[in-house]
Chains A and B, each alone.
With several copies, the nearest count.
Chain A
Amino acid sequence: MYLTHQPIDLASLIAQVSRAEHGAIATFTGAVRDSHAGREVTALSYSSYESMAEHECADVVREAEAKWPVRVALMHRLGDLTIGDVAVAVTVASAHRDEAFVACRWVIDQVKARVPIWKRETYADGTVGWVDPTVPGGIVMARPDAEASRG
């Protein structure tokens, strides 16, 4: 299971990969920021195509463990988050730090590129946007009527 609706416990992810033969652990955590593209963010919600996302996360972890002599733990949170909450955590243990850093960076990049997860931001002015890295500005505003019907 790589997706959770609960807060992510970094210590338990680290414990999951640590072995006596591992001297190096590289970790990445992505947290909810208070601003995006110049807008003040007040709330954030992640949704996912969960069955596909679980498959993709498992593939990413397996591929990383095949490419480097590492053990990888990965967790992505879904649902409603507040500023400062950890949205994603990657932990990579290895005998040496080179592979730990390289694999950790590769895993988070792959997660962002391959795992079907979407981010819906609420701004201080009450408007709502969908994060979309493919458009200039990185946000597509939600339709007010859709927003009203959602609430």
Chain B
Amino acid sequence: MTITVQALLFARYAELVGADRLALSLPDGSRAGDAVSHLRAGHTGGGLPPTVLLAVNGRQSSPDRLLDDGDELAILPPLAGG
């Protein structure tokens, strides 16, 4: 069984990866941190730093958060608003 997760990339990370949205196919039971490791292991995500800020479905989440099929996983560069 696999799930599909929409990875959203912003600002510098979108620039690094060369895309602001990617569909990731992951094994059932994957956690948010696993999705980032998967992306980092590939060609496009190699530049992502070892720790990143994550949000699942628009709310900040820990890397331990279990992912469901159809979740939106945002990978956020360090915040710089204000």
Question: Nearest chain-B residue to A109 (Cβ)?
Answer: B82
B79 A113 Cβ-Cβ under 8 A: yes
B76 is an interface residue with CB less than 8 A from chain A: yes
15 additional A-B pairs beyond A52-B55, A118-B79, A146-B16, beta carbons within 8 Å, are A46-B81, A47-B11, A52-B74, A53-B81, A88-B82, A108-B82, A116-B81, A119-B80, A120-B11, A130-B12, A130-B15, A130-B77, A131-B80, A132-B77, A133-B78
Question: Nearest chain-B residue to A114 (Cβ)?
Answer: B79
B81 A55 Cβ-Cβ under 8 A: no
Interface centre among A76, A118, A135, A140 (most CB of B within 10 A): A118
A98 to B8, CA, bound (A): 34
Q: How many A-B residue pairs have CB under 8 A?
A: 82
B59 is an interface residue with CB less than 8 A from chain A: yes
B50 is an interface residue with CB less than 8 A from chain A: no
Q: Mark A60-93, 1 if CB is under 8 A from B, else 0.
A: 0000000000000000100000000001100000
B residues sitting closer than 8 Å to A (CB atoms) are 8, 10-12, 15-16, 18, 55, 58-60, 74, 76-82
Question: How far does the Cβ of A65 sit from chain B's closest Cβ, in whole Å?
Answer: 20
Q: Write out the residue numbers on chain A whose beta carbons fall within 8 Å of the beta carbon of B10.
A: 47-49, 116, 118
- Given contacts A51-B58, A52-B58, A55-B58, are A119 and B81 in contact (CB under 8 A)? yes
B15 A142 Cβ-Cβ under 8 A: yes
Question: Nearest chain-A residue to B81 (Cβ)?
Answer: A117
B11 A30 Cβ-Cβ under 8 A: no
A53 to B9, CA, bound (A): 14
- Given contacts A76-B81, A88-B82, A130-B77, are A116 and B55 in contact (CB under 8 A)? yes
Chain A binding surface, main DSSP class: mixed
Interface centre among B8, B55, B80, B82 (most CB of A within 10 A): B82
- Given contacts A51-B58, A52-B59, are A111 and B11 in contact (CB under 8 A)? no
